[in-house]
Structure 1
Amino acid sequence: MPDKSAFFWLFFRFTGRVSRAAYVLGFLLMLVVMSFPLYQFMRVPPESAMAQLWSVLFGLTFLVFLWAHIAFSVKRLHDFDKPGLFAVALFIPIVSIIAFVALCFYPGTPGPNQYGQQTNSPR
């Protein structure tokens, strides 16, 4: 059985470091999960009660995964040995695209740094 505390750390905590692969895979997972309520919303008539339900579920999913994306980005910045405050760049138009690509493709600091001994662990 998977460790639930590791899952919670990966998606919702701001400590530790994550690798490029974990960052990209986590983002893709969030994208797929968030797409489901949006897809369901698009399938039903706009004025129906189901449309309201799916739109609320999409909004809640969006908020949860916004937090998770920020947490992932902070941990990815920690892998570069940079403070998590730089994640603010993800909210600046155009800069956000460049920052996201950099977080996806550039390798982090090899070995231990001030944010952790290794990647993909809380410490």
Structure 2
Amino acid sequence: MRFERFNGADRIEITNLSNQSLRIISGKHEIQKFAAFAQAHGSDWATPVTGTPVAEVRANFYSGDKFLGDLGVGSNFLTAQGYGYFQSRTVSQEDRKAIMKLFGVLDPYAAK
């Protein structure tokens, strides 16, 4: 995945599975932390034969009104839109905790 485009984002909208807005992030420093995390996890993405799993929370990146892509967090995986299709990859629990801290919302998987 090529997450460099996230560097041009001016806001991130955190949404749930129903696409309801949970939080808006517009601070450049916070956006850069998200972009750095995504870029550090840019390898090992694939489209599973069984289909891409669905993440219950995701960060939607925008520059003005232009959608740049998203990064979703599941129980042990990440999801992303890349070039018109959805892909996923596994993520360690340590990295998952780090990205959920950036999301700054209640972890929907914590009680599961």
TM-score by length of 2: 0.26
| Structure having the higher Rg | 1
Specify which structure has the higher proportion of strand.
Answer: 2
Higher relative contact order (CA 8 A, sep 6+): 1
Specify which structure has the higher proportion of helix.
Answer: 1
